[in-house]
Chains A and B, each alone.
Chain A
Amino acid sequence: MKKLINKPEDVVTEALQGIAAAHPDLVRVHTNPNFIVRADAPVQGKAALVSGGGSGHEPMHGGFVGMGMLDAACPGEVFTSPTPDQMLEATKAVNGGAGVVHIVKNYTGDVMNFDMAAEMARGEGIEVESVLVDDDVAVQDSLYTAGRRGVGTTVLMEKIAGAAAEERRALKEVAEIARHVNANGRSMGMALTSCTVPAAGKPTFEIGEDEMEIGIGIHGEPGRTRMKLKPVGEIVEMMAVAVVEDIPYNKGDEVLAFVNGMGGTPLIELYVVYNEVNKFLEGRGIKITRNLVGSYITSLEMAGFSITLLKLDDELTKLWDAPVKTPGLRWGA
């Protein structure tokens, strides 16, 4: 393992200290329990958004704390859900009297810890709405699985629901908009290489020099199939077909196309991917009216990408365009 870390057990804390040092104008960092809140929290009268999850997906979630997006993020250990006491303290720290939305990615640990935190927060008189993200089409949603994983749509949900909250919309309405984003967003990922969890010290999975894993999760958990590498256009088509046919997206639909890097793939390759996504959607008569290209929900140093499509309507487009000012995403402000 070759990494820029001092001790595996200090990675999360030291990264948090770095964020605090780099962005004092945007966020405040609380340690023990660990959470990041926007610098002006709590914002009175505004529904607050709290998310969280394992570390190792940066900039998600801590990099999305700030005006127009999240009020707080709770980082767990690498790839490990944060704990209920973190979430409870973060919820209390950002509650401006209008209630708190918990944005929860659909993983067994995240769901259970957020459930416990929501129970505790309600016990302290705070209104909490929980919204689940489960947009990964690589995973079958059936009685026999824990349901679809929450991946790329999380970033879009945090931006759009954050904008709605910034407009001072009521808690329930903000939660409804977030659920609307989840209902209209679908994703699929792939990997060329594994990631290495610092505390584990070795790659999570082995993969051949000429192989790729299609349908990978954001923790290096296996996806649908392992196969030989193919030209980018064929890889994109395989993944985009699965995404497009899931909702389904129809001819004439307007979408936000999000090409996300998994952490170890350079931007130049992401643009090669975006070019193929653009051609594919043009061929299907689906119009990209907004896009996002870059590494926003990562899996440590894993090489690979994911495609997320969000079917847009006028309201979602307007909320996407609204100003945002966070360490990881910033425009209009």
Chain B
Amino acid sequence: MPASEEGGWVSVPYDQVVQFVRAFAKVVTENREYLTDLDSAIGDADHGINMERGMSAALSKLDGVPEGDVGNLFKTVGMTLVSTVGGAGGPLYGTLFIQMGMAVAGKPELSSQDWAEALTKGLQGVVMRGKAEPGDKTMVDALTPARDALKEALDEGASFGDALRRSAAAAEEGMKQTIPLVARKGRASYLGERSAGHQDPGATSSYLLLKTAAGTWADAEP
């Protein structure tokens, strides 16, 4: 059984993981203009448009994915993002999902430890592909604190739901902290000092991803 006796997930069941992917696609569509506006300030005004194209392509693939393998589900989403998004978001979000998928290959459901492992491997993949470090004003600035907060919460014995909420809150904080930063990676780095004062669009979409995970799973806890 996926639910523990005290209530709350021990493991998120497969259909809830599908739900998370669907919810993220919806969130991306809702925030399409917002992400694109952030990107026009310091990038090339396409982040929301590209992510929406990728996630709607991923949604159209969901029905064809055989049920019951979370790793395969994430991998399919990642491969679809790589082949439909383009830009920097395609390889980065594609790699994130592919690496998350490889971390939980064959799992029929997602335990809190599985999710921590998936985030860790996904983040490593993003860092390897984009060569960004924390503080460079990229999605790494939201993903890193989110992963750290999740692990810390789980180590302290927090429930999966609480750990997800703390992870999303840390991602939000990391996203906000990109505002004063001077970009050192990606197209925003061309602006130098002029990139300061703007929130990074990649960190913002990464926060939305973590927020969606918390919103979908923590709020659906039994």
- A144 and B91 form a contact (CB under 8 A): no
B191 touches A222 (CB 8 A): yes
State whether A77 touches B53 (Cβ < 8 A).
Answer: yes
Complex contact B190–A83 (CB within 8 A): no
For A, the interface residue count at a CB cutoff of 8 angstroms equals: 36
CA distance A332 to B88 in the complex (A): 39
- In the complex, the answer to whether B190 meets A149 with C-beta atoms within 8 Å is yes
Q: Is B184 an interface residue when CB atoms closer than 8 A count as contact? A: yes
Closest Cβ of chain B: how far from A134's Cβ, in Å? 11
Is A205 in the interface zone, CB < 8 Å from B? yes
Cross-chain contact A79 with B182 (CB below 8 angstroms): no
Q: Measured between C-beta atoms, what is the minimum distance from A78 to chain B in Å?
A: 8
Question: Which B residues touch A112, using CB under 8 A?
Answer: 88, 90-92, 129-130
A221 with B190: in contact, given A83-B85, A204-B40 (CB under 8 Å)? yes
B59 an interface residue at 8 Å Cβ cutoff? no
Q: Are the C-beta atoms of A221 and B185 separated by less than 8 Å?
A: no
Task: Tell me if B130 and A139 are in contact (CB < 8 A).
Answer: no
Given A80-B86, A146-B185, A221 contacting B43 (CB threshold 8 A): yes
Please measure, in the bound complex, the distance between the C-alpha atom of A116 and the C-alpha atom of B78, giving whole angstroms. Answer: 13
Asked whether any CB of chain A lies closer than 8 Å to the CB of B164, the reply is: no
Which partner residue on chain A sits nearest B89 by CB separation? Answer: A109
Q: Which of B38-66 contact A (CB under 8 A)?
A: 40, 43-46, 49-50, 53
B46 touches A200 (CB 8 A): yes
B222 within 8 A of A: no
Question: In the docked arrangement, what's the CA distance between A125 and B6, Å?
Answer: 56
Residues of B within 8 A of A109 (CB): 86-91, 187
Indicate whether A162 reaches chain B with its CB closer than 8 angstroms.
Answer: no
Central interface residue in B45, B53, B189, by most chain A CB within 10 Å: B45
Contact code string B80-106 (vs A, CB < 8 Å = 1, else 0): 001111111111100000000000000
Contacts of B45 on A, CB cut-off 8 Å? 79, 197, 200, 204, 220
**A124–B189 alpha-carbon span in the complex (Å):** 35
Chain A residue numbers with a CB within 8 Å of B191 are: 221-222
A113-131 vs B: 1/0 string, CB under 8 Å?
1011000000000000000
Q: Which of A77, A81, A145 contacts B189 (CB 8 A)?
A: A145
Complex contacts, A143 vs chain B, CB 8 Å: 184
- Given A33-B83, A108-B130, A221-B44, decide whether A83 and B90 contact each other with a Cβ distance below 8 A: yes
A280 contacts chain B at the CB level, 8 A cutoff: no
In the bound complex, CA of A217 to CA of B87 (Å): 16
Question: Cα distance A134–B192 when bound, in Å?
Answer: 17
In whole angstroms, how far apart are the Cα atoms of A205 and B191 in the complex?
14
Which of B49, B130, B185, B186 is the most central at the interface, judged by chain A CB atoms within 10 Å of its CB? Answer: B49
Query: With A109-B88, A109-B90, A139-B190 as given contacts, are A83 and B53 in contact (CB-CB < 8 Å)?
Result: no
Which A residues fall within an 8 A CB radius of B? Answer: 33, 54, 76-85, 107-109, 112-113, 115-116, 139-140, 143-146, 149, 197, 199-200, 204-205, 217, 219-222
A-B pairs with lowest CB-CB distance, top 10: A112-B91, A109-B88, A109-B87, A145-B189, A80-B86, A219-B44, A108-B88, A85-B83, A80-B87, A76-B86
Q: 12 A-B residue contacts at CB 8 Å?
A: A33-B83, A54-B86, A78-B46, A80-B44, A80-B46, A109-B90, A112-B129, A145-B192, A199-B49, A200-B36, A204-B44, A220-B44
B interface residue numbers (CB < 8 A to A)? 36, 40, 43-46, 49-50, 53, 82-92, 129-130, 182, 184-187, 189-192, 194
Known: A85-B82, A108-B88. 5 other contacts (CB 8 A): A84-B91, A108-B185, A145-B184, A146-B187, A200-B46
